[in-house]
Amino acid sequence: MIITDEKTLRMPCEDVKPEEVGELVDLLERELKHSAELGRPGIGLALSQIGIHKKLAIVRINRELQVNLANCRIDKHYDPALFVGEGCLSIPDKTIDTIRYKEIYVVDNLIFPHSFIATDLMAVAIQHELDHLAGTLMLDRAVSLPKKKSKPNDLCPCGSGAKYKRCCQSK
Q: Which residues pair with 45 in a beta bridge?
A: 58
How far CA 111 is from CA of 27, 52, 55, 71, 154, in Å, comes to: 20, 21, 14, 10, 50
C-alpha–C-alpha distance, residues 65 and 43, integer Å: 10
Residue 14 bears catalytic tag: no
Residue 163, CA atoms < 13 Å, CB-side half-sphere = 6
Please tell me which residue in 29, 31, 103, 129 is annotated as part of the active site.
Answer: 129
Closest CA relative to residue 74, chosen from 107, 109, 100, 96:
107
The answer to whether the beta carbons of residues 146 and 97 sit under 8 Å apart is: no
Closest CA relative to residue 88, chosen from 158, 2, 1:
2
The answer to whether the beta carbons of residues 73 and 89 sit under 8 Å apart is: no
List active site positions.
129
